Structure 1
Amino acid sequence: MVQEAGSERDANGVPRLPLRRDGWNFWNFEGNKVHYIQSGTSGTPVLFLHGFGASAYHWRYNIPVLAENHRVFAMDLLGMGWSDKPTGEDIYQVWPRQIAAFIKEVVGGEPVVLVGNSLGGYNCLKAGVTSPDLVRGVVLLNSAGRFEEVKAEERAGSNGRASVSKVPAEEQPTLVASLMDQLKSMALRGSIYASFFMAKQPKRIRQASFQVYISQHNVDEDLVNSIVWPAESANAAESFYRIISGKGTPVNVLLSKLDKPMLLLWGADDPWIGPGSAARIESLYPRAQKVLLSGVGHCPQDDAPERVNAELLRWLDAL
Structure 2
Amino acid sequence: MSRAIGLALAGMLLVGAPSLATPAAGLPAPDTPGRRVTLAPPGEAPVTLYYEEHGAGPPLLLLHGLGESTFTWHDILPALAAGHRVVALDLKGFGRSEKPDDGAYSADDQARLVARFILERDLSDLTLVGHSFGGTVALRTALAEGIAGTGRIRRIVAIGAPALPRATARRFDLVMAPLVADTVAAVLPSGPAVRFLLKEAMGGRTPSEEDVKGYAAPYEAQDATRAFLATARAIVSEKDSAAIAKRYKAIGQPVLLVWCRKDPIVPLRAGRELAAALPRARLAVLERCHHLPQHERPKELLKTLAPFLRK
Q: Does 2:258 align with 1:269?
A: no
Q: Name the count of aligned residue pairs.
A: 260
Distance 1:257 1:286, change over 3 A: closer
Alignment partner, residue 194 of structure 1: 183
Alignment partner, residue 165 of structure 2: 147
**Matched-pair contact (CA < 8 Å) for 1:51–1:117:** yes
- Which one of 23, 26, 44 corresponds to residue 36 of structure 2? 26
Structure 1 regions of 5+ residues with no counterpart? Answer: 1-17, 149-186
Q: Secondary structure at the match of 1:231?
A: coil
Q: Does 2:284 align with 1:291?
A: yes
Q: Tell me, in whole angstroms, the C-alpha distance in 1 between the residues paired with 2:193 and 2:30.
A: 23
Which residues in structure 2 correspond to 1:96-107 (within 5 Å)? 96-106=111-121
TM-align CA RMSD: 2.3
Specify the code of the residue in structure 2 equivalent to 1:19. L
> Could you give the per-residue CA deviations for residues 126-166 of structure 1, whole angstroms, max 9, x where no partner exists?
10122232321111111123437xxxxxxxxxxxxxxxxxx
**Matched-pair contact (CA < 8 Å) for 1:53–1:80:** yes
Q: Tell me the TM-score normalized by structure 2.
A: 0.76
Distance 1:128 1:25, change over 3 A: same
**Matched-pair contact (CA < 8 Å) for 1:214–1:295:** no
Alignment partner, residue 129 of structure 2: 115
% identity of equivalent residues: 24
Structure 2 regions of 5+ residues with no counterpart? Answer: 1-25, 41-45, 167-175
- Which one of 59, 62, 80 corresponds to residue 48 of structure 1? 62
Structure with the greater alpha carbon radius of gyration: 1
Q: Tell me, in whole angstroms, the C-alpha distance in 2 between the residues paired with 1:79 and 1:52.
A: 10
> Could you give the per-residue CA deviations for residues 168-203 of structure 1, whole angstroms, max 9, x where no partner exists?
xxxxxxxxxxxxxxxxxxx95553243244234322
Q: Does 2:125 align with 1:137?
A: no
- Which of 1 and 2 has higher RCO (CA within 8 Å, sep 6+)? 2
Tell me how far 1:66 sits from its aligned partner. Answer: 1.2
Tell me how far 1:270 sits from its aligned partner. Answer: 1.2
Structure 1 consecutive aligned stretches of length 4 or more whose deviation exceeds 4 Å: 187-190, 247-251
> Could you give the per-residue CA deviations for residues 67-123 of structure 1, whole angstroms, max 9, x where no partner exists?
1111111101001111110112522243112111221223x2313111111110110
Q: Tell me, in whole angstroms, the C-alpha distance in 1 between the residues paired with 2:238 and 2:51.
A: 23
Distance 1:307 1:265, change over 3 A: same
Alignment partner, residue 241 of structure 1: 229
Distance 1:248 1:84, change over 3 A: farther
Tell me how far 1:48 sits from its aligned partner. Answer: 0.8
**Matched-pair contact (CA < 8 Å) for 1:215–1:303:** no
